Amino acid sequence: MRILAFFLLLTATSALAAPDRLTPDRLTQAAALRDTALAKSEAWPLLESLTTNVGQRLAATPAEARGRDWAVKAMAAAGLVNIRTEAFPMPLWERGTETAEITGAAPQRLAIAALGFSGATPADGITAPIVYFADYAALQEAPPASLNGKIAFIDHRMMRTQDGSSYGVNGVVRRVGPALAASKGAVAVLIRSLGTDYHRNPHTGSTTWPEGQAPIPAAALSLPDAEQLARRAKAGPVSLHLVLTPRFNPNGQSANVSAEIPGTGPEIIVIGGHLDSWDLATGTIDDGAGVAITLAAAKAIKDSGIKPRRTIRLVFWGAEEEGIWGGRAYGEAHKAEPIVLAAESDFGADRIYRLSSNVADTGLPLIAEIQRVLAPLGIAATRNNSAGGDGDVAPLIANGTGTINFEQDGSRYFDYHHTPDDTLDKVDRTQLDQNVAAWAAAIWLAASDDRALRKK
């Protein structure tokens, strides 16, 4: 009897205690989470539900608010607790009519999409000559006032890459090209889409205007249309008739939604994706996928019944596309909390091929452990401990929070990104589940650990 009582006591004690790091148990649990999610995760039904029943989720609109209602229900259904919605102010920008046509003896309609925060033309549009720039550097060299009364057309050469780096290099064309052209007198701007597909799908995305610069009409051309216009410009003078009628309201509102698996200790790990999307499709790879992957990973951990040491907090940020409004509001509101690690899934649904980090040196053995558990998923380890903190987690990381970067294969991401083609059929379920497997195992290992991760 005494022996039995001793064993009962031992079992009860170990069940109550937080799991010790480096025990075979912890690694076994991570491997089980990995293998269960890889066989079949909850991500696909979640992604199907969000993109079918809610659809596009443009920031600060009722559609984005319906996305939050969906999120609250999905988080509760997954068994997460402490569900919170935190509102923040931001401007509302909505697309209007958008048409472009080469005028003259050989008229030609061009496929365009207004850039977020584009200014508007009069309702009947404007007609003006085009000035061609091969890239952003060429526009920089244009003399002041040289674009008075003209439409600037900025070309570039974005390449297909696995890591998406060409988007970063050429992104300046969209983000600040229109403002630079406006400062030299342009009445409107067209850019070659930041994309890699050769379909007549323009890629939208935000542009920015410095204080004091009135927005001018700005739109992206699909790649075939950009090349058509470039050939016409090379052949001789070409004019365009352009109609862009977006609406702007400075007093809009968006919100972040969060929920938790409470830990036994005070520290917090933040994971998630952004709930808003562009309006041209259903916001599937950007970023319904990130929402579904991280929610499915949290649900997998919750369903396994294992209790984390660190609280796992799932955050769905609002209004990322239009300038990381949600991430900035979140970083400010939560800067005093002990958030030790933060990671966002926002690069589609294709497979993770590499894992990098940015944590305190004390956390590097944990990163090595995570990499070992993820290796069977075909995820390469890297010693790069300077992973960038992009997107919504950037403000947390700038404040000292550590991060891990699940680097996804971006080879086809920019065929669909911000286009009318960002739809559910583009998602490969096997690759989607590989993402969930990696997130569930890695976040469990980090949440059951106690080694310091914050960099300051």
Contacts of 16 (CB under 8 A, 6+ apart): none
Residue ranges in 312-351 that form contacts with Zn ion under rule CB under 5 A:
346
Q: How many CA atoms lie within 13 A of 392 on its CB side?
A: 34
CA distance 381 to 366: 12
Phi-psi region of 22 (alpha: psi -120 to 50; beta: other; left: phi over 0): left
Least spacing, CB of residue 276 vs Zn ion, in Å: 8
Least spacing, CB of residue 342 vs Zn ion, in Å: 16
Instruction: Supply the DSSP symbol for 402.
Output: B
**Residue 164-203 contact track with Zn ion, rule CB under 5 A, x = bound:** ----------------------------------------
Q: How far is CA 115 from CA 142, 322, 419, in A?
A: 22, 10, 12
Residue placing its CB nearer to Zn ion in the complex, 287 or 449: 287
Residue placing its CB nearer to Zn ion in the complex, 275 or 438: 275
Residue placing its CB nearer to Zn ion in the complex, 42 or 287: 287
Check if the beta carbon of residue 191 is closer than 8 Å to that of residue 409: no
Query: Which of the stretches 182-190, 287-295, 349-357, 378-386 binds Zn ion when contact is defined by CB under 5 A?
Result: 287-295
Query: Which of the stretches 165-173, 177-185, 280-288, 440-448 binds Zn ion when contact is defined by CB under 5 A?
Result: 280-288
CA distance 318 to 56: 13
Least spacing, CB of residue 344 vs Zn ion, in Å: 9
Among residues 225, 260, 286, 422, the one that binds Zn ion under rule CB under 5 A: 286
Least spacing, CB of residue 148 vs Zn ion, in Å: 36
Least spacing, CB of residue 346 vs Zn ion, in Å: 4
> Judged by CB under 5 A, how many residues of this single chain contact Zn ion?
3
Check if the beta carbon of residue 420 is closer than 8 Å to that of residue 281: yes
Tell me the H-state helices in 217-314: 223-235, 289-304
Query: Which of the stretches 14-22, 66-74, 229-237, 281-289 binds Zn ion when contact is defined by CB under 5 A?
Result: 281-289
Query: Which of the stretches 29-37, 242-250, 284-292, 431-439 binds Zn ion when contact is defined by CB under 5 A?
Result: 284-292
**Residue 346-375 contact track with Zn ion, rule CB under 5 A, x = bound:** x-----------------------------
Residue placing its CB nearer to Zn ion in the complex, 289 or 359: 289
**Of 226, 269, 196, 228, the residue nearest 418 (C-alpha):** 196
Residue placing its CB nearer to Zn ion in the complex, 337 or 390: 390
Check if the beta carbon of residue 345 is closer than 8 Å to that of residue 293: yes
Query: Which of the stretches 143-151, 221-229, 282-290, 307-315 binds Zn ion when contact is defined by CB under 5 A?
Result: 282-290
Which helix (H) or strand (E) element contains residue 67?
helix 62-77
Q: How far is CA 406 from CA 311, 350, 358, 387, 437, in A?
A: 20, 11, 12, 10, 12
Residue placing its CB nearer to Zn ion in the complex, 260 or 344: 344
Residue ranges in 235-274 that form contacts with Zn ion under rule CB under 5 A:
none
Which helix (H) or strand (E) element contains residue 188?
strand 188-192
Work out the angle between the directed axes of helices 24-39 and 364-374 (0-180°, nearest 10): 40
Residue placing its CB nearer to Zn ion in the complex, 155 or 287: 287
- Residue 110 pairs in a beta bridge with 100
Least spacing, CB of residue 356 vs Zn ion, in Å: 19
Residue placing its CB nearer to Zn ion in the complex, 267 or 344: 344
Check if the beta carbon of residue 238 is closer than 8 Å to that of residue 107: no
Query: Which of the stretches 5-13, 124-132, 209-217, 286-294 binds Zn ion when contact is defined by CB under 5 A?
Result: 286-294
Q: What is the token pair recorded at 52?
A: 């079918």
Task: Give yes or no for residue 449 binding Zn ion (CB under 5 A).
Answer: no
CA distance 40 to 198: 34
Least spacing, CB of residue 107 vs Zn ion, in Å: 36
Task: Give yes or no for residue 287 binding Zn ion (CB under 5 A).
Answer: yes
Q: What is the token pair recorded at 9?
A: 């006591």
Least spacing, CB of residue 273 vs Zn ion, in Å: 8
Query: Which of the stretches 80-88, 91-99, 174-182, 283-291 binds Zn ion when contact is defined by CB under 5 A?
Result: 283-291
Report the greatest alpha carbon distance in the chain: 101
CA distance 106 to 229: 12
Least spacing, CB of residue 456 vs Zn ion, in Å: 27
Residue placing its CB nearer to Zn ion in the complex, 60 or 340: 60
The whole-angstrom distance between residue 434's C-alpha and the CA centroid of its chain comes to 18
Least spacing, CB of residue 163 vs Zn ion, in Å: 16
Least spacing, CB of residue 285 vs Zn ion, in Å: 9
Q: Tell the burial category of 236 from Cβ atoms under 10 Å away from its Cβ (0-12, 13-18, 19+).
A: exposed
Least spacing, CB of residue 326 vs Zn ion, in Å: 11
CA distance 258 to 381: 30
Task: Give yes or no for residue 422 binding Zn ion (CB under 5 A).
Answer: no
The footprint of Zn ion (CB under 5 A) covers 286-287, 346
